[in-house]
Amino acid sequence: MLPKFTGLWRHPNFIKLWAGETVSLLGSQISLLALPLTAILMLKATSVQMGFLGVAEFAPLLLVSLFAGVWVDQLPRRRLMIGSAIGQALLLSSIPLVSLWGLLSMEYLYGVSFLIGTLSVFFAIAYQSYLPTLIQTDYLVEGNSKLEISQSLAEIAGPGIGGSLVQLLTAPFAILADAASFLVSALCLSMIRQPEPLLPPRTQKIKIWSQIGEGLRVILTNRILVSFALCNSTINFSQQLIFTVFTLYVVSELHIEPVLLGFILSAGSVGGLIGAVLAERVTRRFGFGFTIVATTLIGGISSLLIPLATNPLTLAIPLLIASRFLYGLVNPIYHVSQISVRQAITPNRLQGRVNASMRFLAGGVIPIGAFVGGLLGSTLGLRATMLVGAIGMLVPFLWVFFSPVRKIQDSPTALN
């Protein structure tokens, strides 16, 4: 007997979106390992240079997000996503070509990372704003849960595949797999036939600063949204501070090979898959408020295991796996809960600007975290830097606990 498909399994346009994003997420996990290894293994990058690489990649969150949100609310979101995916594929493909010509440098990686980060900002804002128009509000938790499952599967398979490709092809050529994944994503998006809601008629010149201000005001005047912004900002800053020096630490001081590093990250991400599968059930069972508060606390505790990982490897590897497993378990549950609430309480005409403002406030600290991580790594040392980041990961719990978030029990639709 064939299985009975229900919910979004019966939504062909969502399935196309989901399929393209799944492939793209897998490719991005390969680059997440291959790009820093290109800098470390081929260009002998220092901790400060790795910090600048992180700054270049994430600076668009700070510099571009607010402007991107205005355009996402003014232009067809699906077309923006397709153009962004194709652009990222072309930029990623240039890295192995430049390496083949012997012209690869840190400066080139900085420039390409900044451009890719810019296109990624447009894609992510358009994507989060497009989903509530593609599916009904009642299905937001299910849709976000399915997309988190894809993220978790990519985190499990991607680093292992990426580490193997780095050893077989060298780091720059492993990045080609990510370029191909973006082309698949663009193809899947182009196959969606469901029309988007009509855009408001443009009767006058866009007052971009006024539009940006409206999106920021929605967040800053809503206690639920502002607590999410503060919580996400602290998480992003602290996590980026840790991971700016994480790869350098395990490669340079623990002497872990790329393949083993990839499988450590993959093994730790098994928790992410379990968390993504359980996200909808946990949120429905315990309520949005309790779920969000509990997952931020557990995530902070898990990060404390990272700076404890030191030689011998028989101690370091289990601690790294345990930390990644526990954080991976709670992160998708937190993400599904808070983003479903955000999407449900935001009017469609403001989705782009609110998502952009949230990325600006929460994601704009990532390049700062990368810079601070690189600076602290060269002064305090790599492991001490990870300890600072781990302590910072205990703070997000406070932002949501002392806010109206912990009192939310019903589904996001009840908040409209």
pLDDT for the residue 152? 79
Kindly state the tokens that stand for 92: 């990623």
Q: Is 139 in a helix, a strand, or coil?
A: helix
CATH architecture of 8-191+214-415: Up-down Bundle (1.20)
Distance of CA 347 to the CA centre of its chain: 23
Query: Which positions ≥6 away from 265 have C-beta within 8 Å?
Result: 33, 155, 159, 324
**Residue 195 carries which DSSP code?**
P
Kindly state the tokens that stand for 367: 């390049």
Q: Which of 146, 92, 94 is closest to 119 using CA atoms?
A: 92
The answer to whether the CB of 349 falls within 8 A of the CB of 207 is: no
pLDDT for the residue 136? 79
pLDDT for the residue 416? 44
pLDDT under 70: residue ranges of the chain: 1-6, 198-206, 410-416
d(CA 74, CA 169): 42
Torsion angle in degrees (nearest 10) through CA of 218, 223, 227, 228 = -50
d(CA 74, CA 347): 14
Residue 132, CA distances (Å) to 320, 340, 394, 413 in order: 36, 9, 32, 12
The answer to whether the CB of 250 falls within 8 A of the CB of 50 is: no
pLDDT for the residue 119? 93
DSSP for 9-41 reads GG-HHHHHHHHHHHHHHHHHHHHHHHHHHIIII
The answer to whether the CB of 69 falls within 8 A of the CB of 125 is: yes
d(CA 148, CA 297): 20
d(CA 314, CA 293): 33
pLDDT for the residue 1? 38
This prediction's pTM: 0.75
**Residue 279 backbone phi and psi in degrees, to 5:** -55, -50
Domain boundaries, the chain: 8-191+214-415
d(CA 392, CA 19): 35
Kindly state the tokens that stand for 223: 């206690």
pLDDT for the residue 411? 54
Bond preceding residue 396 cis, omega within 30 of 0? no
Angle at 12 between CA 6 and CA 18, to 5 degrees: 90
